[in-house]
Amino acid sequence: MTGYILKRLLSAVPVLLGITVIVFLIMAMIPGDPALAILGAYATPENVAKINRDLGLDAPLVARYFIWLGNMLTGDFGTSFSLNRPVIDEVLDRFSATLLLAGTSFVLCSVLGIAAGVISAAKQYGWADKGITFAVLLGISIPSFFLGMMMILIFAVELRWFPVSGMKMAYGGGGFADVANHLVMPAFALAVVATGVVARLSRSAMLEVLRQDFIRTARAKGVREGRVVWGHALRAAMVSIIPVLGIQAGFVLSGAVYIEMVFQWPGVGRMLVDAILKRDILLVQGGVVFVAACYVLFNIAVDVAQSLLDPRIKT
């Protein structure tokens, strides 16, 4: 197992390097001079030249990339000019909020999606199967940002069950109940599409397993149907379900960008949008690379979990 984990970690290195190249080139190709965006009304030729020199923007493109990559490998992601603080400090502060939102959504889509898929497969062609299939198709068809806005209109503005936006009350908030109350709508809006995907693929995986010989043998021995479905069949189906969960983890992490904007959630997604509008290059690059690294590490953890369920995967 240790050798398998090391092999997966080594295979992640070129992926992360490729991400750094893509992010750097995209930011370099954005039209306009970053120095002009930074200085605004104070953009005299002398000030522009000084900013370009201080940020290293006057160096060749290849040299700028390797300087940035070398600094990042030593833990120096640079300093955000718009916030006047180290990029890594800002990213870590914002990532805790994104992790709370994405983590809650991931747990919701995993638990609800797998449960719906198992029930739908166990009751194939029954009313439960038809009802779950209809709900899944409806959930997949509704964009998360639109669902979020509708939830704000209905549950926050009209019914006033939940707060409109933010992560906590401006004054006297921050407790567990307050944060949980603010979390309900964005987490649910982000989880709906992923739940539908997990449910559909869980149903397919379960149907395939339920047709296998060992399931018929268990039933012939008189094992209770609940144990057959939730014990034997689900365990075998998890080998196919776990990779889907890894993909959906990336979906909820990337989907957090627009959900954070809709609900004004103070996470990395909202930070990146603000940084792009301000042309804060180092903050955008550092934030994207950090989030991408977290996603790559999570996928390695998913592969390890899958190999524990099916040791043949390591070979």
How far is the C-alpha of 311 from the C-alpha of 315, rounded, in Å? 8
pLDDT digits (tens, 9 = 90+) for 219-243: 888 888 888 888 888 888 888 888 8
Query: H helices within the chain, ranges in order?
Result: 2-29, 34-39, 45-55, 61-73, 87-122, 127-141, 144-151, 176-210, 213-220, 225-227, 234-263, 268-277, 281-309
Prediction pTM value: 0.81
pLDDT digits (tens, 9 = 90+) for 30-76: 776 677 766 666 677 777 777 777 777 777 888 888 888 888 888 88
| Segment 267-293 mean pLDDT | 86
Tally of domains in the chain: 1
How many C-beta atoms surround the C-beta of residue 127 within 10 A?
A: 8
206 occurs within a structural domain: yes
> 67: which residues sit within 8 A by CB, 6+ positions away?
56, 59
Bridge partners of residue 85, in order along the sequence: 80
227 occurs within a structural domain: yes
Structural domain harbouring 126:
99-279
247 occurs within a structural domain: yes
23 occurs within a structural domain: no
14 occurs within a structural domain: no
pLDDT digits (tens, 9 = 90+) for 167-195: 776 555 567 788 888 888 999 988 888 89
> 236: which residues sit within 8 A by CB, 6+ positions away?
209, 212, 214
250 occurs within a structural domain: yes
113 occurs within a structural domain: yes
Which of 9-18, 156-165, 169-178 is predicted least confidently?
169-178
Identity of residue 143: P
CATH number of the domain encompassing residue 187: 1.10.3720.10
71 occurs within a structural domain: no
